[in-house]
Structures are given as C-alpha cells and as structure tokens.
Amino acid sequence: MSLADHTSHGRPNGLAAGAAAFRRTRAAFDRRGPFADAQRSPSVTFTAPGGKRITLATDRVRARPALSSTLSGAIGMTAVGLGVCGLLFPRATARKVGLPAGPATVMTLFGLRELATGLRLVSDPTRTSTLWARTAFDVFDIAVLKALDNRRNPHRGAARSALGFVLAVTAMDILAGARLSQVQRNCETGGR
C-alpha cells in the first residue's frame, strides 16, 4: 500500500485525492483523450478537474515542407542582429565594406530596415509580404555592394563577402516566400 492509498478515519487523505486528480488531469492530456484530434482540428475542448470546460484554439498553418516558417524565423533573427549592428555601429558597418556614407544613412537604409523586417518575421514567420519586401530590399543591397566591389575600394574583399552573404539570404528569402505563399491560413472558428 502506498502513502497515497492510506486512509484516515475511512476517508482518503489529501495525498490520495491529489493523486486521483492528477490521474484525471493526465488522462485529459493523454493521446487517447481529447487531444487526439489536435492534429486535424484547429480547436480542442476538454473538461478540466472541477468541471470547467476549456477550449484551446490554434491557427493551423501548414507549410510544405514545414521548414519554410522555421527558415523565415531564422532569417528574421539574422535580420534583427544585422539591424542592431547597423543602428549601434553605423560607422564601423560602413567602414567595414568601404561604404562612403554617413552614419545616419547607414542607420536609416540598413539598420532600421533590417530591424523592422526582422522583428516582423520573428513575431510571425508566415508573413509573406515581409519576405517579399525583404527580397526587394535585398536587390537594393546587392546593387550597393556590387558598386562597392571595385578596384578603388580598399575593402573590396569585405564587400565581396557581404555580397555573397546577401545573395545567399536573398535566395532563402525567395525560397521561404515562394513556399509560404502557397500556405492557406485556417482561422475560422466555425460560426462562433
């Protein structure tokens, strides 16, 4: 006999009552319980201990493959990092690639833009409008970096490296944007 099964004056003790409540709660979360349909249904309703009915609703977004939203979130995190660097260190950012622009220009054209699109993607990686906007901004970045890839630029190697990075990110932006453009959002609540 366990301590939880011990009775006091013919009644179960508090530990036994707690164990019984735990078993009931665990059954609610069991795969055979109400969550078995969570993969197919955007909402699940179950009864919690005490009789209260709880409904969990999800926005069912399916991307094929599911890597697209993960990739988009990673692009967003990278953009946040680049944006913070552009805002906090505009002179160093411009100097690194040989950009003959003032800190205000670098902060506006690169820092704020990267930070804004990055935060938007981190908050919702399925927003294709942000990915397509990033692709347009990437074309601008490619043009600027290609112009910096010349023999007169003493930082030509850094400009080339940055150009290669931007080309890779542009390819990822296009890939994630194209795949997520095919996703249908299913947020209807069924007439509630």
Residue 191 falls within a domain, yes or no? no
Cis before 12? omega within 30: no
Q: Give the separation between CA 121 and CA 153, rounded to whole angstroms.
A: 34
A 10 A CB-CB count for 109 gives 18
Q: What is the pLDDT of residue 14?
A: 56
Q: Is 139 within 8 Å of 174 (Cβ atoms)?
A: no
Q: What is the pLDDT of residue 63?
A: 44
Residues of the chain with pLDDT under 50: 1-4, 6, 31, 34-35, 37-39, 41, 63-65, 188-192
81 and 161 inside one domain = yes
35 and 107 inside one domain = no
Residue 187 falls within a domain, yes or no? no
Residue 188 falls within a domain, yes or no? no
- Pairing verdict, β 11-12 and 185-186: unpaired
Residue 185 falls within a domain, yes or no? no
Q: What is the pLDDT of residue 38?
A: 45
Q: Which domain holds residue 38?
A: 3-60
Extract the tokens encoding 171.
């390819």
Picking from 60, 77, 102, the residue at the C-terminal end of a domain is 60
Q: What is the pLDDT of residue 142?
A: 92
- Write the single-letter amino acid at 139: V
CA dihedral sign of residues 74, 79, 80, 82: positive
Residue 189 falls within a domain, yes or no? no
Q: Is 187 within 8 Å of 166 (Cβ atoms)?
A: no
Q: What is the pLDDT of residue 189?
A: 44
Picking from 12, 35, 60, the residue at the C-terminal end of a domain is 60
